[in-house]
Amino acid sequence: MNTPRLLDLFCCAGGASMGYHRAGFNVTGVDIVPRPNYPFRFVRADAITYAREHGHEYDFIHASPPCQAKCALTKGTNAALSDRYTDLLPAVRVVLSATGVPYAIENPDARADVVLCGETFDLGVIRHRKFELSAWITARPAHPRHRGRVRGWRHGIYYDGPYIAAYGKGGGKGAVPEIQVAMGIDWTDVREELTEAIPPAYAEWVGRRFLTRQPALFEK
């Protein structure tokens, strides 16, 4: 049996890619900027253009279109800068649907077919993420109760807690080595790549569910 091929669009340093690799996929990542720390086959290209031209060659597609203007962790900071960010989610949906390939889109505005939390995987981050699924379905996991707060300063008050703030700088945010451990990422020490990454455990969960799926009853 051939190893299923997976396309990871907007792959950054490969947090999602590593998870899909662990689930059993042969992974190719696409990003518009060089990613020397990316651990698998990498193509530097516009993600939407590449998906339009090559998406049909893969068995599954994952996409994490940029979310700087919408992410709950930074929306207050970036609200005034929203004009600088293009919402690529609608275009990604159109292109991926046209490939006919099952996919998952991770984005704050994605349909919440699955919502994953670091606590589900005993990670040191909360990092809720929505996954929109097409051409396949799976049951949602239970959302476990959080053990406490995210460590750091909030409005002049310092809170301790079991989770690292794996975004931004200052205010008690996690140091790079702490973020690496909390996220389960050891192949990059670039802060920007870490703060934009999906913990590999999330994509591994999605990938394993896809590979063991029952035939979809309908397409969403």
Q: Please, what are the domains in the chain?
A: 5-140+198-211 (3.40.50.150)
| Residue 216 pLDDT > 60 | no
Give the pLDDT confidence score for residue 69 in this predicted structure: 52
Give the pLDDT confidence score for residue 12 in this predicted structure: 97
Q: Which helix (H) or strand (E) holds 102?
A: none
Give the pLDDT confidence score for residue 34 in this predicted structure: 97
Measured CA to CA, the distance from residue 91 to residue 81 in angstroms comes to: 21
pLDDT, tens digit, for every residue of 97-127?
999 999 999 999 999 999 999 999 999 999 9
Residues 6+ apart with CB under 8 A from 135: 100, 101, 102, 103, 216, 219, 220
Would you state the structure tokens that stand for residue 121, as one six-digit string? 């995987």
| Residue 81 pLDDT > 70 | no
CB-CB contact of 189 with 170 (8 Å): no
Phi-psi sector, 170: left (phi>0), alpha (psi -120 to 50), beta = left
Give the pLDDT confidence score for residue 217 in this predicted structure: 37
Measured CA to CA, the distance from residue 148 to residue 127 in angstroms comes to: 14
Measured CA to CA, the distance from residue 20 to residue 58 in angstroms comes to: 13
Would you state the structure tokens that stand for residue 144, as one six-digit string? 């476990």
Measured CA to CA, the distance from residue 192 to residue 26 in angstroms comes to: 25
| Residue 214 pLDDT > 80 | no
pLDDT, tens digit, for every residue of 16-66?
999 999 999 999 999 999 999 999 999 999 999 999 999 999 999 999 999
Q: Helix 89-99 and helix 47-54: axis angle, to 10°?
A: 10
Measured CA to CA, the distance from residue 182 to residue 185 in angstroms comes to: 8
Per DSSP bridges, beta strands 41-44 and 26-31 are: parallel
Give the pLDDT confidence score for residue 80 in this predicted structure: 53
Give the pLDDT confidence score for residue 84 in this predicted structure: 57
88-93 average pLDDT score: 97
CB-CB contact of 60 with 101 (8 Å): yes
| Residue 187 pLDDT > 90 | yes
SS3 100: coil
Would you state the structure tokens that stand for residue 10, as one six-digit string? 């907007």
Phi, psi of 129 (to 5 degrees): -140, 135
Radius of gyration of the chain, Cα coordinates, nearest whole angstrom: 17
Residues 6+ apart with CB under 8 A from 143: 115, 117, 120
Give the pLDDT confidence score for residue 67 in this predicted structure: 73
Give the pLDDT confidence score for residue 213 in this predicted structure: 85
Confidence class for position 220, pLDDT limits 50, 70, 90: very low
pLDDT, tens digit, for every residue of 152-182?
999 999 999 999 999 988 888 999 999 999 9
Other Cβ atoms less than 10 A from the Cβ of 218: the count is 6
